[in-house]
Amino acid sequence: MSTLSVAPAKKLNNIILQDINKSYSKGDNNVVVHDKFNLAIKSGDFVAIMGPSGLGKSTLLHLMGGLDRPTSGHVEIGGQRIDELSESKLTRWRADNIGFIFQSHHLLPVLSAQGNVELPLSLTPLNKKQRQQHAANALALVGMADRAHHFPKELSGGQEQRVAIARAIVSDPQILLCDEPTGNLDRKTADEILALLKKLNNDFGKTIVMVTHDLKAAEYASRVINLEEYIALGVEAQGAQIPQEQQSILVGE
C-alpha cells in the first residue's frame, strides 16, 4: 500500500462489460435492466454515463464495482473476470481497486472527517500512524486539511462530498465509480467537485466512471455515453466496439 500515487497509473485497469444480461424479479414479473449490453472503458479514462432514469446507469456502476453480479455475461476489469470471484475475494478486490463516491456522501456521523477517511485503511496492514498520515494526505488533496477534525454535521454539502472523495481515494484505488456525485450540490460547489475529479483523472491517472444527469458535469468527462442512444445502437454495434476497444487497449492507446 502506497500513499496516493502521484504518477499516472502504471497498471492497466480496463473495464469490459461483455454480453451483460441483468434482470431481477419484482413480484411475479421479471424486470430486464440490461439485455446483451457491451461496453469497454480504457484505463485512465473519464467517462460520463448519462440518460433518463430507469435505464440501469447505477446498475452498470454496481456491476463494475462488484457490488452486483450480472445475470449472465462477463465483467472483466484489469484482465480479471470479477463476476467469477467468490464473495470474499470480490470484497477484497473491491477494497483494493475501487473507490465509490455517492450522491449522498454516506459519511459516518460519529467519526470526524479524518476518521471517515481513515476507515477504508483499517482494511489494510497500515499501522495507526501510517493511516493517519495517508488520511491527512488525502484530505489535503481535496482541500480539506483544515477540516480534518470536524464532524460531518459541521461541514457543508460540498465539504462533505470532498471528504467522501478523500475516503474513496485514500486506499489509492485505480478506479473511481461516482454515482451522481454532484446531484445534491449547487452549481459552484458542483464545479469544484468536478474539477477535483478531473484533477484525479489528469494528475493521478484514475479511471473515472461517473453517472450523472447534469450536462455541465458531463463536460468534464473525456467521453460521454448517452445510454439511451447507446442502447439504441443495438447489440451488434455495441459488440462491435469491444474487439476494437480491446485491441486499442492492448496496444496502450
Q: Quick one: 72 or 104, whose CB is closer to another protein?
A: 104
Joined grid coordinates for residue 112: 470526524
Interaction residues for another protein, span 208-237 (CB under 8 A): none
Binding status of residue 58 toward another protein by CB under 8 A: yes
Binding status of residue 92 toward another protein by CB under 8 A: yes
Binding status of residue 67 toward another protein by CB under 8 A: yes
Min separation Cβ 9 and another protein, Å: 19
Site string for another protein, 108-127 (x = CB under 8 A): xxxx-------xx-xx----
Q: Quick one: 30 or 104, whose CB is closer to another protein?
A: 104
The only residue of 27, 87, 232, 251 in contact with another protein, by rule CB under 8 A: 87
Residue among 98, 93, 76, 97 at smallest CA distance from 250: 76
The alpha-helical segments, DSSP class H, found in 38-127 are: 57-64, 87-97, 113-118
**Rounded Cα gap, residues 85 and 83, in angstroms:** 6
SS3 43: coil
Joined grid coordinates for residue 232: 439504441
SS3 190: helix
The total number of residues shown for the chain amounts to 253
Interface residues with another protein (CB under 8 A)? 58-59, 62, 65, 67-68, 87-88, 91-92, 94-96, 100, 102-104, 106, 108-111, 119-120, 122-123, 167, 171, 179
